[in-house]
Structure 1
Amino acid sequence: MARAVFGATVADYVVTPSDGQWGIGANLPITFWDAINEGAQYTDLQDLSGTPITEVTTNSVGSIPQFLGPDGVTGMWVEAGGGARVWMEAHDTGGGGGGPAGSVTDWLNVKEYGAKGDDASDDTVAIQAALDACPMGGIVYLPAGAYRTSAPLTIPPAVTLQGTHTNLMAVEDLVDPPCYIKPVPSFVGGAVISFLDEIDGGYSTISAEHRILNVMIDGSDLTEPGTDGIRARGNIQNVGLRDVTVLKVTGAGIHTEFNGGFYPYSWRLHRVMVDNCGWHGFAHEVMTDITLIDCQAIGNGASGFELSNCANSQMVACRAEWNTGNGIHITGDWATGTGSGGMLLGGCSTDRNGQNGVLVDAVGNPPIQIENLLTRRDGRNNGAGGGGYAGLACDGATVPVIVGMVTCYPGTDDDGSQESSPQYGARFTDCEYVSVASGFLHAAEAGWSDGGGNAVLRRGLNIAERVGTTADPVDAFAPPTDVAGNLNVGGYLAAASGQSGGQWNIWDGSAKALNLGSGGGGIAIAEGANARMGTSTLAAGTVTVANTSVTANTRVMPFRQAAGGTLGHLSVTKTPGTGFTITSSSNTDTSVVAWLLLEPA
């Protein structure tokens, strides 16, 4: 019979049935038995090279290394230093190829492949060996440690690289556990971790289903410019990143791009932090169906999130702070065909980005939907403020931009230095269609700014503005509302005052279709050249009034305003497009007459 493979999985830290979690100390000898109490000790063991051993010593982090059990045995009781025994099962029964000692395991510990994790040794070859040996669906495990690398690590399709802990960011005097991949200064390559597509990787099928979990990349020692944290080129689908941090690489934190006519597709990023990288935090080029949840880009050298045609995608509860460029930049050609699609930003926030908090300058026809956007202190502009920047900016966008709620709050750096920014709370210039339903916009110069050139810019009823400092703001809580098209109001509309630049229509069929308020209310009509109301004086019982607005159907209503001479009856004759003549039956009538012009509906 074959020997089974034991050890080197996370499950080997905890065993069953009765002891619950059972921790193993570092560098501790352990023995194996055929019974929970007393019984016979198994001493017919082998290491992975086939050398006979009688016991196994845990490694520096307390993990049980891989070994081969007795012939035909698939489970043993484990004893560490005379304590209570616990049950361990084999996780591979041997006989396969590809891994150490001919075994096939679905959980590979990089330290069993020679990785040190001591913050000094070059672990590139060892980690890559584990990745290459891992079967599809398996996990390559990074125990706690600092793993130095000198070249890119490539994760094959359907393989998971999993660590123990990810720091959210690097801050002096905070706890900094050694749990990361850290390229050496002489590192050469385009990215610390790479995903290869079918073309570059030589795979027989589409490259897909890679995973990175609980892994931190610390690029603070990198010297070569343009080195990304994680890069994918070409048709690489259904990748998942969870609890991943990329720190201080010289390129982008996460970078997906074109290769051979194809782009990466349908990724899921949860709790991914990109901190102080040299280029964009997240740079996604034509990434259809991407989902970003609770991701953060802080202090990066360009935009926090650079999203160029991410059709049918979602960005939820993400943060962009202190980036040199825009916090979130929605750009590129989003196309016009049936395969194109827009994007939803929900519950996202920005703070103290160098340019706009959110900038939309994308072209195409799919709608970009923004809900519950919180912007704060953006438009830092190297501390000078101004620059035409805004919390939310749309500039030259042909995609429809639909905004539910947006807020903006100005401010300075955390220590109170530098100028207050942004200049505008929300600014819209040369866009095809923008609709903002509600918001509270406080900025240094103007809360709401129409930069001109917009085909349709709709401003909702519930948008308040403030200008000036946060300590002494000037309120503009009742600004004008711009509604293009029809406004349908159920019930009635009450307005303190109003005006219209277009025609009014009342469709009610009752006798009182138009009611003019209470006593003292009335109608005022402008007088002057070609006006619809005015006065004239009869001379020898007649007067001709020039008025080009008169039509064949115009109803001219004359009446005496002030009597003069011998009074007579008044009559009217019209000359359409020219005017009308008022004549008295008395040729000595010199009265002042008034007239009103009406048209039939």
Structure 2
Amino acid sequence: MTESRNVKRLVAVLLVFCLIPVFVPAGAAAESTTLVVAASDSSEEAKAQATYICDGSDDHVEIQQALDALPAGGIALLMEGTYNCAGNIQPGDSRILQGSDENTTVLSYPGSGGLRVRAPSVTFADFTVTGKADMIIEDDHTRVRNVTMTVDNSRIAAFYVWAANDVVEDTVFENCRAIDCGRYGFLNSGEGSPRLVKDIAYINCTAINCGKDSYVSTGPWVTGFDIVEKNDIDGAEVIGCYAEGNQESGFHLEGFSYLNIQNVRFQDCISVNNAQKGKDACMFGAGFTVPKGVTLENCTSVNNKHGYLVSGGSVSKGFSNTFTNCTDEGSDYGFTIRHGYDITMTDCVSKDAARQGLVLSKAWNIKAEDFRLIGAAGYPLHEGSSEQTAVKIAGTRSSDDQFAYNMWDGAVTDSTLDIHAEGCGTDTVVFLEDAQRVTLTGSTDSAGANPVKVAGGTAVDTAGFTTGAEVSAPSA
């Protein structure tokens, strides 16, 4: 799995560099003015080049002075060393704050502060931030490249895009990392009107172990990448990104009905071992929580609560999602749609689901094409039920899920499902309860007496689903 994951990430990076322009700092001129800043522990050679030399206390002051002295397109270059900061650093229009290398240039915040973008065309590049800090972006055309954040839970997120009565447009994160953060790794949110994040990109970014120290009120919902919290979004590209070990979901979008979500695309992303607060304690706990307006291509989920979860939250609906060539391995539930419609899954795979590989509840106009179900262990159709099944096409009751509150207890209707199952751990592979106008095609190698069960409902067609002896019999 590690080798496969690395190959996928390498391919994603190569594709990115082929398809998008070479990174140029926002607002940078062909020849930029550079002012050098040295830390108190920088080398003597570095200090000899510096216009500003920090003394190891309130180093944000000298850094801000350098930024303020620059013309548009200018670079404040931080030499190697640790800068002890106790306040905000806020570049002006078209200014660039760049370290020598993210492994050797460190902005340390033992007290509160951080990086602020409140002017257009700001660039941050090539450094690490630690301590009680965050990066807040409130203006357009921001570029963040090769920045690592390892920060505590005193701030809501490491990388935070905030749209308050405004449109924040054209933000790019490239090769950025949120590692061991107390709360969210990457977060978009907003308030007022408009509250729109527009045309944002995450390229080869990483969120690992975010949210474990989140005992504050919003702590239970902390995720690695939160693309939509209380903001609208139009245009998001998440390419070659990786989420692992986060408190709730790896990648997440809130789905409340008042949020406008469109043109969001995940490609070649990987989400592993999330739901760290406990799978049954998570409302989402997904590799990918995608309520509406999302396309996923060639994505991978491993050992989450839900591999892929379509859920609008509360009484909202999830809709207009497309999954192509997506795989889950070892999650409790491979693919889950609860209270959703107009969703297509093409060439997707659930492998070794600890419970069920596919769960559809209160859903309609669902289309699964060549869905492969391999080795699902099976789980009761309902809490306390003797009916065990690898695929659940039925409502989800409050007793089935502590977060359900009967919101997802409803029939599956007007759907076509093509499922090819093998090696499942239950005699019943697919159970349809109260379904209406559902067509099931495909196959299973199960030789059980009833690999497909239909209880109630109307116009359920399973004639095109072959089972047991039919599958294994040699062709004429």
Give the TM-score normalised by the residue count of structure 2.
0.63
CA spacing shift, 1:272–1:495, aligned 2, 3 Å: closer
Is residue 311–residue 318 contact of structure 2 (8 Å, CA) maintained in 1?
no
What is the rounded CA distance, in whole Å, between the counterparts of 1:297 and 1:216 in structure 2? 14
**8 Å Cα contact 1:283/1:305 also seen in 2:** yes
- Distance in 2, Cα, partners of 1:246 & 1:305: 13
- 2:297 maps to what in 1? 371
Correspondence 1:296-445 to 2 at 5 A: 296-301=206-211, 302-308=222-228, 309-332=232-255, 341-354=262-275, 355-362=285-292, 367-378=293-304, 389-396=305-312, 397-410=317-330, 422-441=331-350, 442-445=352-355
- Judging changes above 3 Å, is the alpha-carbon distance between structure 1 residues 476 and 461 closer, same or farther for their aligned structure 2 residues? farther
Partner in structure 1 of residue 91 of structure 2: 155
Amino acid at match of 2:112: V
In 1, Cα distance between equivalents of 2:287 and 2:365: 22
Question: Which residue of 171, 183, 200 maps to 1:290?
Answer: 200
Structure 1: unaligned runs, 5 residues or longer: 1-7, 12-57, 66-110, 168-176, 197-206, 379-388, 411-421, 504-601
Deviation at 1:335, TM superposition (A): 7.0
**Structure 2 match to 1:240:** 143
C-alpha separation in 1, matches of 2:429 and 2:256: 34
How far is the alpha carbon of 1:333 from its aligned partner? 5.4
Considering fraction of residues, name the structure with more strand.
2
Aligned twin of 1:51:
none
- 8 A Cα contact 2:171 2:201, kept in partner: yes
Cα offset for 1:437?
0.8
1: distance between equivalents of 2:460 and 2:46? 80
How far apart are the structure 2 equivalents of 1:438 and 1:476?
A: 19
Tell me the equivalent position of 2:170: 266
Question: What's the offset of the Cα at 1:195?
Answer: 1.1
State the SS of the aligned residue for 1:241.
strand
1:403 CA displacement: 0.4
Q: Does 1:194 align with 2:116?
A: yes
C-alpha displacement of 1:63: 6.3
Secondary structure class of the residue paired with 2:173: strand
* Separation (CA, whole Å) in 2 of partners of 1:326 and 1:258: 23
1:181 matches 2:107? yes
Structure number with higher relative contact order (C-alpha < 8 Å, ≥ 6 residues apart): 2
- The 3 A distance-change label for structure 1 pair 180 and 155 is same
Q: Does 1:215 align with 2:124?
A: no
**C-alpha deviation, 1:433, in angstroms:** 2.0
Q: Quick one: distance in 2 between partners of 1:243 and 1:359?
A: 26
| Residues 1:430 and 1:333: Cα distance change in structure 2 (over 3 Å) | closer
Instruction: Work out the CA distance in 1 between the residues paired with 2:106 and 2:45.
Output: 15
Give the C-alpha shift of residue 59 in structure 1. Answer: 6.5
Q: What is the distance in 2 between the residues matched to 1:249 and 1:352?
A: 21
1:289–1:324 CA distance, 2 compared to 1 (3 A): same
| Structure 2 runs not aligned, ≥5 long | 1-32, 37-41, 190-195, 212-221, 276-284, 379-420, 446-451, 462-476
Do the aligned residues in 2 keep the contact of 1:465 with 1:479 (CA within 8 Å)? no
Query: 2:185 maps to which residue?
Result: 281
CA distance in 1 between counterparts of 2:346 and 2:127 reads 41
From the superposition, tell whether residues 465 and 449 of structure 1 become closer, same or farther in structure 2 (CA, over 3 Å). Answer: farther
Q: Do the aligned partners of residues 266 and 342 (structure 1) sit closer, same or farther apart at CA in structure 2, a change above 3 Å counting?
A: same
Letter in 2 for 1:357: G
- C-alpha distance in 2 between matches for 1:162 and 1:463: 47
Paired residue type of 2:99:
G
TM-score (norm 1): 0.50
1:280 shift after superposition: 1.1
| Distance in 1, Cα, partners of 2:303 & 2:130 | 28
Count of residues in correspondence between the two structures: 334
Map residues 468-507 of structure 1 onto 2, 5 A cutoff. Answer: 468=377, 475-476=423-424, 501=459
Distance 1:258 1:502, change over 3 A: closer
CA distance in 2, matches of 1:454, 1:249: 40
CA distance in 1 between counterparts of 2:210 and 2:327 reads 23
1:298-323 C-alpha deviation (Å, 9 max, x unpaired): 11111001111331221100011101
Q: 1:128 to 1:447 in 2, by over 3 A?
A: same
- The 8 Å contact of residues 422 and 444 in structure 2, kept in 1 or not, is answered as no
Residue 230 of structure 1 corresponds to which residue in structure 2?
Answer: 135
Q: CA deviation at 1:334?
A: 8.1
Corresponding residue number in structure 1 for 2:53: 114
1:137 aligns with one of 51, 73, 77: 73
Taking every aligned residue pair, what percent have the same amino acid on both sides? Answer: 19
Higher-helix-fraction structure: 2
Give the CA deviation at 1:139. 0.3
Contact 1:356–1:393 at 8 Å: present in 2 too? yes
Moved more, 346-355 or 430-439: 430-439
- What is the letter of the counterpart of residue 376 of structure 1? V
Paired amino acid for 2:308: L
